[in-house]
Amino acid sequence: MRIKLIWKWCPVKKMGVFMSGPVILFAYSNLPLVSVLDYYPIILAIFWLYLSAEDTLSLSVPAPTLCFSGCATLIFAIIQQKEISDYILIASFMACIFGTVWITQRLKDKSLIGSADFVVIVSLGFTLHPHTLGLWLIIACAIPLISIVSHRRVWAEKTPFIPYLTASWLIVFTLN
């Protein structure tokens, strides 16, 4: 089974150590679990952790799981009942982010992030407040930079981005 393969693979074990801090912080911040809706973010976190492991293992994620997780996360964003201006502001930030990435990809003439990363950014981004979006993306981009510099890895090497987006989302969602 694929999960056994994921668990045996060494970088995923390292990812488990890497993710343990944000997961513990996230779980502790969601206590006490009083209503059924209190379980929803924890279940979402489990799905995103699974997708992070898949991305670490094969630099790709299963499309059905990604679609389900993305839709479930967007439903959670709607359940949070923010003001319509918050959704418009988040959508504007997303448009700026995607425009910047698209222009950079056109200038560099190569893909910088995968299509699954766009889905993750949109779905997880809508669950945050507009003033925490920048912090989330800064943390998500700083963690792999620290990893690349500290391990002296090659810059051209592909790096899975979903684990970093998930870890930073767990931290920033806790701060919300």
Per-residue confidence (pLDDT) for residue 23, from 0 to 100: 81
Per-residue confidence (pLDDT) for residue 5, from 0 to 100: 54
**pTM for this one?**
0.85
Three-state SS for the chain is CHHHHHHHCHHHHHHHHHHHHHHHHHHHHCCCCCCHHHCHHHHHHHHHHHHHHHHHHHCCCCHHHHHHHHHHHHHHHHHCCCCHHHHHHHHHHHHHHHHHHHHHHHHHCCCCCCHHHHHHHHHHHCCCCHHHHHHHHHHHHHHHHHHHHHCCCCCCCCCCCHHHHHHHHHHHHHHC
24-63: per-residue pLDDT in tens?
Answer: 888 888 788 788 788 889 899 999 999 998 988 888 899 9
